Structure formats: structure tokens, C-alpha cells
Amino acid sequence: MMNEKIHFILQRLFSDRAKSLPAALFDPVPQFSMEISNKNDIARQLNAAFLIELAGKNNPEYSEAIACLKQYQEDENWKGVVNFYRKGMKRITREMSKALEIYPEIAKAVNDLFIYLSEKHDPENEDEKITKLYTLFFPEGIGIRQNYREKVAKLRHYREVEINRICPDPIINPASEILFTSNILLTIPHKSQKIEDLPLSAHLIKELKEIVKEPQLYWYDHPIQIGVESHKNEFIYGLRELDKAVAFEIKKGNMAEGKKITCVVSVTVTHEGIHRIAGAYLREELKKVGGLENITLYLFTETDTEKIVNENLFPAARQYLDIQRSEDQLNVFGVDGEYGRHYSFLKAIAVYWKIFVNPDLKATFKIDLDQVFPQQELVRETGFSAFEHFKSPLWGATANDSEGLLIELGMIAGALVNEKDIGKSLFTPDVKYPDRDLNPDEYIFFSALPQAVSTEAEMMARYNDGPLDGKNRCIQRIHVTGGTNGIRVEALRKFRPFTPSFIGRAEDQAYILSTFFNQPVGLAYFHKDGLIMRHDKEAFAQEAMESAYIGKLLGDYIRILYFSNYAKILTDDVSQLKKKINPFTGCFVSRIPVTVVYLRFALKAALLFEEGNDEKGLDFIKDGSRRIEQAISLIDGDSLTAMYEKERKDWDLFYDILEAIDLKIKDGDQFVTELLEKARSTLNNMAP
């Protein structure tokens, strides 16, 4: 049975007298009572019925709402949605009851909100309303609207570290000492596009007609739609821009004429059948634009990573570690699946590369292909080109953080500026403070607030002649982006970080968490001020972004579920972890994640219908109920813990194998010589 105070809070939040109550967020009755003429209307009504059920029996439409949910419960088209909503009340009741017992701060927040809603308050006092709601649902957002500048300054001070040893082996020649990496995400053409009209070979068109019939396996922010024009193709756009950036470095004298950088690109797909055509498609697209002049490119599909495991890693494991492979061992090393899987691959591949290909390699650096090194602006505003920024002796330094803990700055992170803002300055935050009225769902969770704080405090920090000089003191980063960051090979070997493969959003921020509790010295990101890439996705990928809008939203909700549970896997002291990663990364670690996700989801769906986005509302509810249900099923029980522990063992085995190979190379072992030759032959086939 639901706690009386929680019941009262929900009743007030979803009251049929929304405008007359100070903290009411949405009145679901009008959306529930509207005429039903199509499937969009059914989705709208079911969502409204759920909100009415949350409001309770005092709502005048309560009985009709319950009857509506029961009516569609056996309908094949809607039973998944209805079951998701009907489980919602039970899940919220169970989670809130448990939280009230375990967390004194939740009990106090519930009591304070109950009292607030029981009394008369000025409905125009937004700050009071937001604070009361955030205290329960979103504590990381408290006070940001009122004290934004103070929050930025406080966080920046907390992120300051004092250097006690610079890197003894800094990057000197980025072209040969850094392995550049990126990933592309391939999906089927836009649903409005006729496949036979695409500018592709007959073979690809024939294959695509079959692939589009397959179910979608994964969802991404803005995947490349096969057949899109070259100027809208992120793969072509990003690599050509990187090619130009390297040409700039050659002209500036930072690398020899004719020298090339190496770039490894992982190829992740949304549909199984795309595996069959990915390589051929990408080769066709590169050929259309004349190829690349300054980049040696390697494409890795899941098939290619399996070859490395089967032909290189496990023969070595048998030979040197006496390990016989079990069926699913080392399947963490791959590129298909959620973001976390290919992200870990693009870091770990650097150790493999150093041992098998380039002994001079010191680090890897990942870019996203919708990001560009704006070389002219970099030199003008920072005094350094992109490659010159990599030479900082603080990448690889050791330091003490603001709490006195010893850390190793084995990672590096830059920042982003949006293409539309670069004319103002490179140092224009890509995420700005959202100075506007809140939407209903944003009273429950509004990550844009702490994201703006973290962006300005961490990513926009600049070093000068004061205490924060970039020599003796610098910033360590927690908030990073998927591109514009790197890690030294020695840090990979020492700390063995990874992102669990169940993480589908913020894989970049989840990556470092795996190292927080297993070393006497902590791994950290060095913030390199001025290492800024221009973010161009809005300039050329609007159609892809629009297609991925719903998937991105849902990924954000699932992120709350996974991060909240991942934190508990990592440590019994989640509050200490949150102290380190707040406000932005930490806001996704919630004491009541299921409750927050259900409320946020239902309010967002209602808003989509309220704004007239009925088709998006339908897609949001259909896809969301299925995907969130899958995520909740995974976090129930010990499934997530078992996945993490297995992947931790697999990554340890991966590095153990490479360490054994490295030792045998130094001994001149015959078996390893043959292994190296075979590996290099395999890699040659991955270059388009």
C-alpha cells in the first residue's frame, strides 16, 4: 500500500485542478477525455489514464481511467504499453516505500513536500515550488537557477588539482605517437526514401530491401542513414575535415610531408543485416569523394574484432597462459551493441596497436566525426594547433586533488564549441544555461541545469598567470564528451578502464567510473584548455538527428536506471561517489530512479501531445514502454552485477594476454613472431 504522504503528493501533482494548486504539474483529464479516432489518440489516452491512476481515486475520471487501461490490456497492439503502465504504480509504490525506510533524506523531502502541498502558497513563486520538488526528485538541480555563477565557481574550485610530477614521457610527435579513433553508426535509409532511388550499386540496393524488414536492435543519437548524400554523411564529412586538419599540421611543420596519421574507425549497426554491406558501402562512399590524402584508415566491424579474438588473442592465451576459451569469453571486445561496447574497444585497441603494429605509440585520442579541429581559430585564440595541444607535459602527470587524494592524469579531455557560435569565440559553451520556463517533466528532472554548470566550470576553464596556471595547478574533468578525449597506453595497461556494455548513453562518463575503487592512485582526466573542436552536427545532420530524436530521449531515461544501479555495483557508499561526480554525471545516479523515470516519461509524453506532436507521442510511448521495460527487467535482481563482474574479468584477461604477448616479443619467441605476421595481414584487409 502506498504511503499516505506519497499518495497525497501524486494526487496534487496530477490534479484536475492543476491551475489552482501551487505545485500541480499537469491535469491529465482533458487528454483522457478527448475523442478517440486513431492510434495516436489511443496512446494519448492510455498515458493520461496512467497519470490519473497516479492521482488516485479522488480524481473524477479515476474509474474510467482504470477501465480504459483494462480495456486495452488484452489488445495485441497495446498490451505491452498497458502492462508497462499498470506495473508503474506498483513499482513506484515499492521503490518509494523502500526509499523511505533506507534514506532519511528521502523521508525528510517527502515530509517537507507534503507539508508544502498541504498549505496555501503563492502559485507565482516558482523558485519555492521547484526547490520543494527538486529536493525529492532532483536534488542536483537545487539552487542552480538562483545561484548559477556561485555554483560554477564552487565546482571549478572543487575540480582543481595540484601537480606534483609532470609526465616523464610526454607526447612529442602526435602523428606517430597517437592513434586517432572514431566510430560510425549505420542505419537504414529514412522511411520517406525510396530505396531504389538511392545512389548506390545494384548489389547494395538489393540487400537494403531485405535489411529494412528486420527489427531494429539498437538506437543512437544521429546514425548515418545509408544512401544519404555525401555532404550529409558524417563518415565522409568528419574524415575529410580530419584530413584537412592533418594537412594544416604538415604545412605548419608539425609532421613531415607525406606522413600520415593512423585512424581506427569502428562500424556499429542498428540492424543485423547491415553487417553484410557496411564495408562495401563505406568504400563506395570514400571512392566517390576521392579518398583521403593524410590518413591511413582502418575500419573495424564486429566480424573484424572477432578475427582478432579468434586468431590473435586466444591462440596466445592457450600458448602462454594455458587458458582454453569458453564460449562467451572476451566477447566484450567488439563494436556492436550499446555505445559502451564500441567506446571501450576504441580505447583498448591502442594497447593492441602498440604491441602488434606501432611500438612508438603512446596514446589514443577519440573524435566524433561530426566534430572538426578548427585549426585557424585554434592558433589565433590559443596560440597552438590541435597537435601542439597534445604535447602538454600534464597529460600523464600525477597530482593531488582538492581532497588530497593522489591521482594520475592519464587521460585528456578537450571541449566543444557549436558551429553557429564559433564566430563569437572558441570559448563559447556548447551547452548554455537554459534561461526559460520549465516544461512539466522538467520539474521532476532537468539535466540541462547541472550540465550547464559542469560545462562552464570544467570545459570552459582557462589557465592564466593566476593560481590556475596550467603548470602547477589545473582542472581534472569528470564531465567529458564522447569525442575530444584520449588516454595514454600506460594508463590503459595500469588501470584497465572500461564502460560496461549495457551502458547506452554517457558511455564517456561511465568509462572512468570503473577505476574509482580499485587503485591506490586514481585515474583522472587532465583538462586541456584550448583543445576545442567545432561541433557541426546541426550544420549537416539535421535529418538524422530528427529521426533519432525519440531514441535519444529514451536513452536518457534508461541512463538514469543504469547509472543508478551501476553506482551501487561499484560501491556501498553511493553518496561519496556522487560527491565526486556531481552535479551533471551524478544527477543520473538517483535514490528513486524508477519513480523519476516513470514520472518524467509520462509527463514528456503528455507534453508531446499537448504540443500537437501526436506521431512523436505515439512513437515515444510505443518504443519507450518496450525499451524502459527491458531496462527495468535487467536491473531487477543481480543481472547487472553479474554482467559487470564478467566484463571486468574479461577485460582483465584481455590485458593479461597482451602483457604475455609483449613479454614474448621481447624474448624473440617464434610463436609470437608468427602471431604478429598473421595479425598484420588481418589488419591490412581492414584498410579500405
pLDDT per residue as tens digits for the range 3-35:
889 999 999 999 866 666 666 789 999 999 999
| Per-residue pLDDT at 597 | 98
| Per-residue pLDDT at 21 | 66
Establish how many alpha carbons lie within 13 A of residue 527's alpha carbon, considering only the half-sphere containing its beta carbon.
29
**Stretch 86-102: mean pLDDT:** 95
Q: How do 522-535 and 261-269 pair as beta strands?
A: unpaired
| Per-residue pLDDT at 630 | 93
- The answer on pLDDT for 123 being more than 90 is no
Q: Which phi-psi region, left, alpha or beta, contains residue 108 (left: φ > 0; alpha: ψ -120 to 50)?
A: alpha
| Per-residue pLDDT at 119 | 81
| Per-residue pLDDT at 550 | 87
Name the pLDDT band for 324 (thresholds 50, 70, 90).
confident
- The answer on pLDDT for 283 being more than 70 is yes
- The answer on pLDDT for 683 being more than 90 is no
User: Which one is predicted more confidently, 350 or 219?
Assistant: 350
- The answer on pLDDT for 176 being more than 70 is yes
Picking from 19, 135, 32, 130, the residue whose alpha carbon sits closest to that of residue 85 is 32
- The answer on pLDDT for 688 being more than 70 is no
Q: Which residue has the cell 599540421?
A: 249
Average predicted confidence (pLDDT) for the chain: 92
Lowest mean pLDDT among 15-29, 223-237, 420-434, 461-475: 15-29
Query: Domain-by-domain residue ranges, the chain?
Result: 158-301+336-591
pLDDT per residue as tens digits for the range 607-663:
999 999 999 999 999 999 999 999 999 998 888 999 999 999 999 999 999 999 999
Lowest mean pLDDT among 117-126, 223-232, 359-368, 645-654: 117-126
Distance CA 110, CA 116 (A): 10
- The answer on pLDDT for 383 being more than 90 is yes
**Stretch 256-279: mean pLDDT:** 92
Lowest mean pLDDT among 209-213, 397-401, 410-414, 535-539: 535-539
The torsion angles phi and psi of 640, rounded to 5 degrees, stand at -65, -40
Lowest mean pLDDT among 80-89, 117-126, 325-334: 117-126
The percent of the chain in helix, strand and coil, each rounded to the nearest 5, is 55, 10, 35
Picking from 608, 591, 625, 687, the residue whose alpha carbon sits closest to that of residue 40 is 608
What crossing angle do the helices spanning 79-102 and 62-71 adopt, rounded to 10°?
Answer: 130
- The answer on pLDDT for 540 being more than 70 is no
Q: Model pTM?
A: 0.94
| Per-residue pLDDT at 666 | 87
Lowest mean pLDDT among 231-235, 240-244, 428-432: 231-235
Distance CA 591, CA 39 (A): 35
**Stretch 434-453: mean pLDDT:** 96
Distance CA 457, CA 644 (A): 31
Picking from 560, 503, 221, the residue whose alpha carbon sits closest to that of residue 343 is 503
What DSSP assignment string belongs to 511-525?
HHHTTTTS-SSEEEE
| Per-residue pLDDT at 326 | 75
| Per-residue pLDDT at 639 | 87
pLDDT per residue as tens digits for the range 544-578:
566 668 888 898 999 999 999 999 999 999 999 99
Distance CA 51, CA 35 (A): 18
pLDDT per residue as tens digits for the range 198-226:
999 999 999 999 999 999 887 777 788 99
| Per-residue pLDDT at 2 | 61
Residues of the chain above pLDDT 90, percent: 81
